[in-house]
Chains A and B, each alone.
Chain A
Amino acid sequence: MIIPIRCFTCGKLVADKFDQFKRQVRQGEDPAVVLDNLGLHRYCCRRMLLSHIDIIDSFMAFATTEVVEGK
């Protein structure tokens, strides 16, 4: 749904690095180099960012709170 806060395997904080990772990869940088620079050296943490797909935006298309009741 949204980037997990920590690595499933080792517990390292990964969520705060996702925005930068996404931005730099979109600019055409090599994901391996970006991950190294972010300090994610173990492959358990690297897969957290590499394999993540944000689907919260798709869910938000179905948000039901356009009109708040009683307001």
Chain B
Amino acid sequence: MDIMIIHRQDDVIHFLVEGIDVAFANALRRTMLTRVPAMAIDEVLVLENTSVMYDEILAHRLGLIPLITDLESYNLPQDCDCEGKGCSLCQCTLTLEKESGSEDVVVYSGDLVSQDPKVNPSTGEIPLVKLAPNQRLIIEAYARLGTGLENAKFQPVSTVAYKYVPIVEVDKDKCTKCEACVEVCPKKIFVIDKDTLATQNTLDCTMCELCVQECEPGAITIGSKNDAFLFKVESSGALAPEAIVENAADTLKKRIRVSLDFVGKL
């Protein structure tokens, strides 16, 4: 199995994996979605809320805020010594106090004050609610680790997708250089280079086969490799994208070991 990183940004990673089959690629994808733990607000104590928004909507909005997760210093509640009751090893308290004076105030995620400086909203610019003059908000929120299996808010990723590696082939003898494919391709794969049809950035090809339909002489064929996959992992901001992939690979390995041990005992 070979992995090549194609592109990496703060919250997205694109990589190519060679030498695996669909089953493995999908197992990795699903592990990233449902088994990698991330922090999210799970319980909210509303001490005062005179805003126009119901407590429930506010609590729901708080739950969706991606929190920067420190996997090293927190336990999943079910694995914690406190047996899920909630202690400093599995829970983090965030408080929010905001009062509007004589003018409208927007409450942002950045107004949340965390007990642990490492656990904070990934961005402070999420508007939570707007307060009219003389309205007040006092909230205590408890964040914990969880997995996507329980609730989608715990997913550390927004999208994880993989696709086959496309192979775009042009038969130079059949091609009449009509440039129909150059026009029609939404990803601009085809270029006319010194009177011959050439291809560029073929990894961007979505295999829509519009070029195949447009090509009168039938000079273009689109195929795919069946043992290589292009992954795109987009983090919600809770964890770094490469940390998500690493963690998912470890989790998958552990789970496969468990099932092998079980099969061995039969």
- Which residues of A come within 8 Å of B, CB atoms? 1-3, 5-7, 10-13, 15-16, 18-19, 42, 56-57, 59-60, 62-63, 65-68
Q: Is the CB of B64 within 8 A of A60?
A: no
Name the residue of chain A whose CB is nearest to the CB of B237. A13
**CB neighbours of B158 from chain A (8 A):** 6-7, 10-13
Besides A63-B52, A68-B134, 10 other CB < 8 A contacts? A1-B53, A5-B61, A5-B126, A6-B158, A10-B158, A11-B155, A12-B158, A12-B236, A56-B53, A67-B134
> Quick check: is B127 within 8 A (CB to CB) of the other chain?
yes
Task: Classify the secondary structure of B's interface with A.
Answer: loop
Number of residues on chain B facing chain A (CB within 8 A): 30
Instruction: Tell yes or no: B36 within 8 A of A by CB.
Output: no
Question: How many residue pairs between the two chains, A and B, have CB atoms under 8 Å in the bound complex?
Answer: 69
Q: How far is the CB of B61 from chain A (nearest CB, A)?
A: 6
> Roughly how many angstroms separate A18 CA and B108 CA in the complex, as a whole number?
13
Given the complex of chains A and B, what is the CA–CA distance between A10 and B129 in angstroms?
23
Q: Is the CB of B159 within 8 A of A12?
A: yes
Contact B134 A65 (CB under 8 A): yes
Residues of A within 8 A of B122 (CB): 13
Query: In whole angstroms, what is the CA distance A63 to B29 when docked?
Result: 47
Highest count of chain B CB atoms <10 Å: which of A1, A5, A59: A5
**Interface SS of chain A: helix, strand, loop or mixed?**
loop
A7, A16, A66 — which one has the most chain B CB atoms within 10 A of its CB? A16
The residue on A at minimum CB distance from B9 is A39
- Can you sample 12 A-B contacts with CB below 8 Å? A2-B128, A3-B127, A11-B159, A11-B236, A12-B158, A13-B126, A16-B109, A16-B126, A18-B127, A56-B52, A57-B130, A68-B50
Q: Does B125 contact A (CB under 8 A)?
A: yes
Does B206 reach chain A (CB closer than 8 Å)? Answer: no
Residue of A nearest to B66 (CB): A13
Shortest CB-to-CB span from B260 to chain A, Å, is: 33
Q: How far is the CA of A11 from the CA of B38 in the complex (A)?
A: 14
Are the CB atoms of A2 and B134 closer together than 8 Å? no
Rounded to whole Å, the gap between the CB of A36 and the closest CB of chain B is 14
Report chain B residues within 8 Å CB of A6.
Answer: 64, 158, 236
Does B132 sit within 8 A of A, measured CB to CB?
A: yes
CB distance from B49 to the nearest CB of A (A): 11
CB distance from B109 to the nearest CB of A (A): 8
Q: Most chain-B CB neighbours within 10 Å: which of A3, A56, A68? A: A56
> How long is the Cα–Cα vector from A22 to B236 in the complex, in angstroms?
22
